[in-house]
Amino acid sequence: MKHQVFSEELVTSVVNELQIANLEQATIGEVLLVASRLEEKTGIPFIRMDQGSPGLPANQIGIEAEKAALDRGVGSQYPAAAGVAELKAAASRFVKAFINIDIPAEGCIPTTGSVAASYGSFIACTQRIPGKNKVLFIDPGFPIQKSQLRIIGAQWEWFDIYHYRGEALREKLESYLSKGDIAAIVYSNPNNPAWICLEDSELKIIGELATRYDAIVMEDMAYFCMDFRSDLGKPWQPPYPPTVARYTDNYVLMLSSSKIFSYAGQRMAVLCVPEKLFHTHYPALAERYGDSGIFGQTLIASILYMITSGCTASTQYAYAAMLDASVEGRIDFVEDTREYGRRAERMKKIFTDNGFHIVYDHDVTQPVGDGFFFTLGYGNMPSGQLLKELLYYGVSSISLSTTGCEQNGVRACTSRMREELYPVLEERMKAFHTDHPL
């Protein structure tokens, strides 16, 4: 007799009710719907490891600054397309203080979350040079970015970095870049979903090849300074987080407020474009848009403005205040987010005590850290099957197969874990292990 929390019949009925075509290939949103509906129908709580939504309160300094901006009347005026001056200046200072990279305020462009930043960047990057129209994903990665390319009709290549860490990355990257059609290279660091971190030696390889083959690296820093193995996040002092920006001028950085300040509901990020790239002239952009063809100007006025027509003015002031407070030492966002690392450590132990293994368990020189995400495998169980089996035991996750990953397993997010759920998770995973002997 199985010890499932939800019967297979009940889960199937909910999947049919929600008209989900294939549970094993379900998107994050679809898994979220299934878990929510099962909770609603039964009153039994789920261990929610699906959506990467912050599990900490929004930063109070941001909230107060946003209220003050609204009280000043900013809500009645359209914000400038390039962003409010205070946020642009604050972002430039923040990047210098915490990454030790110089990006002028002009190149710090507010966007409606990093999703809008990547969308606009994909458009600009794939249109700037005729024939260079593909995007290369260093996977596993964020599935939404491939969906963005579907919308604009751009093609992509991808590979799972699992077997290509360290120097092995060079040959693998060059096999794609040498064809001459790669416009941009994309990854997140720390990585969503695997929480691996590209090390300086690897970023140097990426940077050198991006320069040689004229590809723009899109570095997603959504989980900025959240590699808790190093003492990152002290303004104006090393160690600084590793970044490709030290090794090439062909890059953009995406810095979101969602995770580091738990400000996800307000959809605010900054796209940082270095001075040289910002001012590069591309005839193909000038011809297409009938503008200057200057990369930064086209990106702001002819692309990003057409997508969101600017960012909410009050939220820009909120983000500026949080960035300034971090630079001045009044916010320690690394200490605030360290809670995710503590949760990951406890959750991983429960899983590994019950037959699971961590799929992406090492970087080049050290074991992978504890943070916002981790990856789980169970024997040789295929990704989709593991996702489905865990649902029967009241645990929601997402299949690694939807993230450009060739390894079997699921992504687990720590953000919604609560103290009272640890014993529940332990009980359910003991039952899972009993029902699925390895």
How do residues 142-184 score in pLDDT, each as one tens digit? 999 999 999 999 999 999 999 999 999 999 999 999 999 999 9
- Per the DSSP assignment, residues forming a β-bridge with 110 are 270
Q: What is the pTM of this model?
A: 0.96
pLDDT band of 77, cuts 50, 70, 90: very high
CB 370 within 8 A of CB 345: yes
- Per-residue model confidence (pLDDT) at position 122: 98
- What is the C-alpha to C-alpha distance for residues 103 and 119, in angstroms, rounded to an integer? 21
Give the model's pLDDT for residue 49.
96
Full strand arrangement of the beta sheet holding 410-413? 356-358, 373-378, 410-413, 398-399
pLDDT of residue 331: 97
80 in the Ramachandran plot: left (φ > 0), alpha (ψ -120 to 50) or beta?
beta
- pLDDT cut 90: percent of the chain above it: 97
- Please tell me what DSSP assigns to residue 392: H
Q: Measured at the alpha carbon of residue 367, what is the angle toward residues 364 and 372, in degrees to the nearest 5?
A: 110
Mean pLDDT score of the chain, rounded to an integer?
97
Task: Indicate the SS3 state at residue 420.
Answer: helix
Give the whole-angstrom CA distance, residue 24 versus residue 21.
9
b/e map of 138-173 (b: 16 or more CB within 10 Å)?
A: bbbbbbebbebbeeeebebebbbbeebbeeebbeeb
Integer angstrom CA distances of residue 141 from 18, 189, 406: 26, 10, 12
Which domains, from first to last, does the chain contain? 8-56+334-435 (3.90.1150.100), 60-327 (3.40.640.10)
Instruction: Kindly report, residue by residue over 90-144, the tens digit of the pLDDT.
Output: 999 999 999 999 999 999 999 999 999 999 999 999 999 999 999 999 999 999 9
Task: Give yes or no for residue 81 having a pLDDT over 90.
Answer: yes
Question: Does the pLDDT of residue 51 top 90, yes or no?
Answer: no
The whole-number pLDDT of residue 419 equals 97
pLDDT confidence bin for 415, thresholds 50/70/90: very high
Give alpha helix (H) positions in 51-192: 60-71, 85-99, 113-127, 143-152, 168-177
